[in-house]
Structure 1
């Protein structure tokens, strides 16, 4: 522990030294044009000749000092309504350009929020609104037509004479459709997390502050901050929404269904936070456009606005290096690109070491014996993602997405065979690649349509080279899915909206087991096709106090000749000014799930494999859920209480990962969950604090087992989180305390632990592991250098107290002795990052 402690301390010192030896900050605040003229006169020994009253209210960012005088004057002409001419005796004449300047603030008429990067265009020039929605534009005459455009809003056309020449007033744009639910509770826990009127939650990373233990806005780690959502083993590849398994979550990236979640086999999210703009989380009351995901939906979205200015960033932390670029191609098109790559090829940090030890616990990678030793362990990951937007016309928008993600683990097994040293390589590779095309057409003020096509492919491949048995065991699990969705949206009235559509999905899952000694090969490939039609009515009252969505989705599975009808609804009512009441409900289904055949499959690391439902062992999973809640929000106070009941039928014992007497059983059953989610939050100026609590009663029902009913493996009865965040100017800090009751576990019968060389277990899940406890901290500081460059540095520590939490425990018999194995949580793990923006 002493050596590890020194490594942590050295890493933090090196990072701090590297970050804070960057050159000192240079202020880039706007200055008056008079002050800028004085500075230029002192530097270049030129005098400005101007009418003082014409420039007294003009403020711009000063030009760089290293520019030549000619470059300075060109910069001033581009950013002011004046022209500059050098005349004799070192005098610069300042004249008002022909025409006049109009200005204003672009805002959404319904939400009153500012619209950034709106396009304002005249016959001769154009500009875009800044982060405050503000714009300035030089026009030549009052009769000139000014058009204001923003994606998803009606184009506004006005005469230049309408704009006030003395005061910059607000200009409002009207949405084409009320497609998205409105924010009813902003800053749900911290800034950037909001609750919407349809019962869903939104994380807006463009306005995101900081969460404990997360400095680089990890998408799937951030989702776990909400009450009712935990990861029973601390990974983003095992997120449990109200007691469900991870495979029961529908995970979408810009509408593409993803079958892989994380890097490092679940310790960090595989979705690059630089290109992910918003995340929507729905625990109940799902929109009818979504198909499977019986426990919940996590929908990630990229920015849907065409950028007019080049933006880029470079970053790195103790795990990876990453880059992002947003490149305007034209006024109508821009492309975003993001990439990450692990740095373990040339530097293995303490963070990397902890992560590797965590994922390799009790696996083929970690299992050395007296006769064989594993060595040369290497792990690598990368991800690349792309989003291209093209506004074909004011009514037509095209979006193209692409994502490619990979994890690879390699190690050698070494042994002495017949007095000779031999070595064979084992490996585990996990890869996802997907692409999509989305086209939206606004036909008129009331009607629009969209077409979405995607292809997503996932593959997990393991080669286990057993050198002592002279055996090579190859395993593969792959998913290939194609989707076509047609959606229409018709605005019946200003308050009433009709959403309808058709959806086709074809999913193919292939599983391969191939052994060379003795020769054995089994390959099974299955296909399921889904045909769906859906329709939903949305209503928002004029005073915005009442909102509801009610609809249904009809599904037909051709393989099973099975029809499934899924009604869904959400209702939200504001009353007594500061109170809100909501009720949500849904029916859902899914025909893909993950199963565990053996605990040592795929080297024991990612042992779950995707499988399709069939007519025999694996039914189609169906769910029913109802929840109701009440909230109070006023002057920074928030109290929210929600109760729910969920019933999921068609699960299999193999999908639950049993490691007790039912580990080899293959039966179907169900589970039902009753629970309460509670949140208290208070914001005072730059400080916010929150307390969340969840209660859950999660019970299995397997009629074919010896015990028809017993607690679920995911029954975390009590979970509590206490968090704080403080933001002041450029500094952000957050700390969080996480506690929950222990995971259910099955113990052997005391005094009769072994029968017939097998563990003699007692009642299933009748005991619990020790309570889980973790304290995390995070801190971020923004550095501002000059007009074009700034940076952010951050530091986080996961499990500050270095608490040795047991996240799993199981028993086995070796040499007629009972062996208990405990899997530990992640130890104290520091991380730090730096990101430079251009």
Structure 2
């Protein structure tokens, strides 16, 4: 027994001595380097640099992320640190072979694999024979830390198009960058070529790339693929990022949308870019008749809309139910809800920057969408080796299904007689409305690479609408106090559109300096004939007609030049600077019955702007921007100074606080022309500093966000002061005459305030978000009284629920919207006064400014989308079924009033009721 114990103790002593010898051997090998990558890359580097023999399960090691820094650290401590990070153990054999395993039993299985007759599967196990350690010191010096710079470009994997606004970062460090308008980025002070670079772009699969030996003079290209529903069938090593819309926690009040994923949302006709933004907090969703952005109490004209650098002044199609932008021609959309960069100016509320698709650089393709309301087709093709071309056409068409959908206007347009917006005695006057309308738009873009540093792009957009909302009104017999036959009719015809074009030269001077220089032209036109004709046939057969109404003409032309520059000193400091100049002329003519000209304005103005802004990140958790913008405006002869500031601070990896403030000016306005009877309209005019002052606003924004891999909770509060607001009003009916133009332009001020809440689920089969906005928008015009009143766009409460569920190739979605009703002004009564010459004039008694409220707005939309996938896993299209306003809610668009025998006949013009639609989207490749 004692002999056995002595043998056992001797055996243990030998093992301990052997282990001690192994540890001493490992301690002689020292490691220097910084690693933020997967375990397999770290082990391969150790094997290569130190000529070790390491055996491990490669499939397992590929899943283990390592972030460690070593400085002459002994190998045994390195192995302990690596195993601790990867939740593994290491085993050292007498011959020096190192095993990294989960349990000791795995060592034997790895050994058996080595002794097998066939060679070891290098996909699972990688071994390299050890050598003498007399060269270890030399190898350690070779592996010493060396910071380097990396310049790259993020593109679409299939088409080769650049992806602006993609986030690129070195994992487990504070080194990050955002790609510019042409997809380029620069990262400096990268600690080692074993780092992992991670790239994220909304609607695309994120990418993780382990860097290897890099030539700093070469540009790294990172290709991303669009996220699809059937990823379960494909092995994907990168994280899935299939969101439709995203917010960046390092930016304040910024939303980014993925046009490639829009088909999954419920829609009226087809994928709609601007309408999708309305589903996020802070952007009103109850303005169904406008694709324009009502952002944080602002109006659409206070939102600067840029398409490939030129300004788009008309963003609606077909009564506002479509946006003016074909999603097949759009690559990226960013919405800045407030506190935006000094790079942008000329608007008080927000900025929407749209980047058009360039067209594929790899192979030609053709595709399109067909729905019950419109059809569009696009063609994209490479042009030789260095260029690409895109052409997209879209047009609505009027067939039986189209007429059936728009007959909703007939069904929901009703009229009542009374006072105060229909609160008086009832009636049954019917306004028969049969809208006949169409629209079309065209996008074309040619892109040419002039070598490795220069890019030239020419973009063209044209869109036009022809709307006819004319109708007849049947007067009930009890309103007709004579035996005459009365046949009132309303002519309401509108045509409008936008033409824009830009030529852009982009140059990457070096890895630190980049510029975009652009020349552009944009024009807007709008013509409206809105007249009422009452035909009367007397008992003796004689006929006469009385016509009242308005005719409007609005023209705008805008020529501009802009040059934007980016200079990146390092990862902590980047400067933006540039200049802008424009020449604009605006014509507006407003007449009654084409005889009495009430407004006839033709104005020219020039603006010149310079700006500068610095982006600073003094340490990893803090990032802020500070900038100034200065603009000279020829109409006033004054210079306007606009300071801007925004910043974010990461309290933890998940919790971020943010704030922004700034001064903003607007020199061209879409002024509201109050029309109590026919519904208010608006028109573009230039500020003159007198009757139309230069508008200005101050933004104050603060909030926080909490984000995990699957969820985002975001809260932002804001307060905006507004000055220099303008409205045109004539509260006079009948033979309206104006002695001067300026006396009917009213000036005032206002403020908006609110709090926005967003809870978003970003990943998984079920995704979506809940948002709630509590907002106030109030104005004060001395001509309407000394008190503040609710602005036209005031909606105190808005709740939105967006839900999406993926099941195989299907995506099911549901959207619920609820909003407080908008305010409006109503006529209380009318009366007639005969003057000394015997002529009579009709006048209205008006309620207080916007003291009435529309009913609350709410609706539910449903949709189902089936992706059409080929055997090779390539998506070739989709078919979408949508149900708009499922429970057929009657939501009021606006009210119109007709005066007859001093009686006010109220007409509710309603939004669409229940409307089904089918959209088929196909592409050749």
Normalised by the size of structure 2, how large is the TM-score? 0.65
Match of 1:330 among 370, 379, 384: 384
Matched-pair contact (CA < 8 Å) for 1:432–1:458: yes
Match of 1:727 in 2: 806
In the alignment, the residues of structure 1 paired with residue 276 and residue 877 of structure 2 have an alpha-carbon distance, to the nearest angstrom, of 22
Structure 1 residues 405, 692: closer, same or farther in 2, change over 3 A? same
Equivalent residue, structure 2, for 1:62: none
Aligned to 1:447: 513
- In the TM superposition, residue 590 of structure 1 has moved relative to its aligned partner by 0.9
Distance, in Å, in 1 between the alignment partners of 2:491 and 2:267 is 36
* C-alpha distance in 1 between matches for 2:820 and 2:548: 43
Matched, 1:488 2:542: no
Moved more, 712-721 or 792-801: 712-721
Residues 569-597 of structure 1, C-alpha deviation per residue, up to 9 Å, x if partnerless? 22112122210111011211111112244
Q: Please, what is the CA RMSD of the aligned residues?
A: 4.3
Query: Residue 701 of structure 1 corresponds to which residue in structure 2?
Result: 780
Compare 351-360 and 520-529 and name the one that shifted more: 351-360
Which of 418, 433, 436 pairs up with 2:502? 436
Aligned to 1:198: 251
**Partner of 2:820 in structure 1?**
741
2:660 to 580, 584, 594: 584
Distance in 2, matches of 1:713 and 1:586, equals: 25
C-alpha contact (below 8 Å) 1:315/1:323 kept by paired residues:
yes
Residue of structure 1 in register with 2:9 after alignment:
none
C-alpha distance in structure 1 between counterparts of 2:876 and 2:360, whole Å: 22
Question: Offset at 1:657?
Answer: 12
The yes-or-no answer on 1:560 pairing with 2:601 is no
2:294 aligned residue (225, 229, 240): 240
Confirm or deny: 8 A CA contact 1:599 1:607 kept in the other structure. Answer: yes
Deviation at 1:356, TM superposition (A): 8.7
Structure 1 residues 521 and 587: alpha-carbon distance in aligned structure 2, compared to 1, 3 A threshold: closer
Q: Tell me what 1:341 maps to.
A: 395
Pair 1:152 & 2:184 matched: yes
Tell me the secondary structure at the aligned position of residue 707 of structure 2.
strand
- Say whether the 8 Å CA contact 1:281–1:296 is kept in structure 2: yes
Q: Confirm or deny: 8 A CA contact 1:431 1:458 kept in the other structure.
A: yes
SS in 1 for 2:688: coil
Separation in 2, partners of 1:326, 1:190: 26
Query: Aligned in 2, Cα 1:763/1:431: closer, same or farther, shift over 3 Å?
Result: closer
Spell out, residue by residue over 1:270-292, the C-alpha distance to the aligned partner (whole angstroms, 9 max, x if none). 10001111110101121212112
Q: Distance in 2 between matches of 1:301 and 1:555?
A: 25
Question: Is the Cα contact below 8 Å between 2:650 and 2:656 reproduced in 1?
Answer: yes
Task: Select 1:780's aligned residue among 857, 865, 868.
Answer: 865
For the Cα contact (< 8 Å) 1:176–1:445, is it kept in 2? no
Map of 2:201 onto structure 1: none
Shift of 1:226: 1.2
Please, which of 592, 609, 627 is the counterpart of residue 701 of structure 2?
627
**Cα distance 1:288–1:581, how it changes in 2: closer, same or farther (>3 A)?**
same
Note if 1:218 corresponds to 2:297. Answer: no
Distance in structure 2 (CA, Å) of the matches to 1:564 and 1:612? 16
What CA distance in whole angstroms lies between the structure 2 residues aligned with 1:209 and 1:542?
A: 41
CA drift of 1:561 comes to 1.0
**Alignment partner, residue 850 of structure 2:** 765
Answer yes or no: is the 8 Å Cα contact 1:758–1:812 preserved in 2: no
Between the aligned partners of 1:249 and 1:187, the Cα distance in structure 2 is 33
Find the aligned partners of 2:547 and 2:527 in 1 and give their Cα distance: 20
CA distance in structure 1 between the aligned counterparts of 2:385 and 2:327, rounded to whole angstroms: 26
Per-residue CA distance 1:360-416 (angstroms, 9 max, x = gap): 999xxxxxxx9999999632211000111111010100111000101113588999x
Aligned match of 2:724: 650
Could you say what secondary structure the match of 1:240 adopts? coil
Asked if the contact 1:556–1:563 (Cα under 8 Å) also holds between the matched residues in 2, the reply is yes
Distance 1:683 1:333, change over 3 A: closer
Find the aligned partners of 1:358 and 1:197 in 2 and give their Cα distance: 46
Within 2, Cα distance between the matches of 1:517 and 1:655? 19
Q: Give per-residue Cα distances to partners, 1:746-780, cap 9 Å, x unaligned.
A: 5678xx99898755455443453322221111111
Question: Could you give the per-residue CA deviations for residues 157-180 of structure 1, whole angstroms, max 9, x where no partner exists?
Answer: xxxxx9xxxxx9767898989xxx
* CA distance, structure 2, for counterparts of residue 238 and residue 320 of structure 1: 20
Q: 1:188 to 1:572 in 2, by over 3 A?
A: farther
CA contact (8 A) 1:643 1:675 kept: yes
Paired residues for 1:206-355 under 5 Å: 206-208=260-262, 210-213=264-267, 216-303=270-357, 307-344=361-398, 348-354=402-408
User: Where does 1:443-592 land on structure 2 (aligned, <5 Å)?
Assistant: 443-463=509-529, 468=545, 474-513=551-590, 518=595, 523-540=600-617, 543=620, 545-592=621-668
Tell me the CA shift for residue 471 of structure 1.
9.3
TM-superposed CA distance for 1:515, in Å, is: 6.7
Deviation at 1:260, TM superposition (A): 0.3
Do 2:386 and 2:449's aligned partners in 1 also have CA atoms closer than 8 Å? yes
Residue-by-residue CA offset, 1:32-79 (whole Å, 9 max, x unaligned): xxxxxxxxxxxxxxxxxxxxxxxxxxxxxxxxxxxxxxxxxxxxxxxx
Distance 1:309 1:354, change over 3 A: farther
The whole-number CA distance in structure 2 between the counterparts of 1:590 and 1:444 is 36
- In the alignment, the residues of structure 1 paired with residue 624 and residue 668 of structure 2 have an alpha-carbon distance, to the nearest angstrom, of 30
Question: Hey, what does 1:822 align to over in structure 2?
Answer: 908
State the shift of 1:599 in Å.
3.0
Mind listing any 5+ residue stretches in structure 1 that lack a counterpart? 1-107, 121-127, 130-149, 156-161, 163-167, 178-185, 363-369
Distance 1:658 1:806, change over 3 A: farther
Q: Find the residue that maps to 2:681 and give its secondary structure.
A: coil
Whether the 8 Å CA contact 1:759–1:818 is kept in 2: the answer is: no
CA distance in 2, matches of 1:530, 1:715: 32
Residue 616 in 1 paired to residue 648 in 2?
Answer: no
Partner of 2:113: none
Asked if structure 2 preserves the Cα contact closer than 8 Å seen for 1:264 and 1:355, the reply is: no
State the alpha-carbon separation in 2 of the partners of residues 655 and 220 from structure 1: 30
Distance 2:303 2:410 in 1: 26
The Cα shift of 1:538 comes to 1.0
CA distance 1:303–1:587, shift in 2 (3 Å): same
Looking at structure 1, the residues matched to 394 and 454 of structure 2 have their Cα atoms a distance apart, in angstroms, of 32
Matched position secondary structure for 1:723: strand
- 1:300 Cα offset (Å): 1.0
- Give, in whole Å, the separation in 1 of the partners of 2:721 and 2:831: 36
Q: Secondary structure at the match of 2:497?
A: strand
Give the TM-score taking structure 1 as reference length.
0.71
Superposed displacement of residue 507, structure 1: 1.3
Distance in structure 2 (CA, Å) of the matches to 1:434 and 1:354: 34
User: Structure 2 stretches of 5 or more lacking a match?
Assistant: 1-148, 164-181, 188-193, 195-208, 221-238, 417-427, 474-484, 534-544, 734-742, 834-841
Deviations 1:497-542 (A, max 9, x none): 1111111011110113467874769642101111100000012467
Q: Equivalent residue for 2:714?
A: 640
Taking a change above 3 Å as real, the CA distance of residues 176 and 770 of structure 1, as seen in their structure-2 partners, is farther
Identify the match of residue 394 of structure 1 among 452, 461, 465.
452
Task: Please give the per-residue CA displacement for 1:113-160, whole angstroms capped at 9, x wherever unaligned.
Answer: 88625989xxxxxxx99xxxxxxxxxxxxxxxxxxxx962689xxxxx
Map Cα deviations across residues 537-573 of structure 1 (whole Å, 9 max, x no partner).
Answer: 0124674x33221101001112201111111122112
Shift of 1:791: 2.4
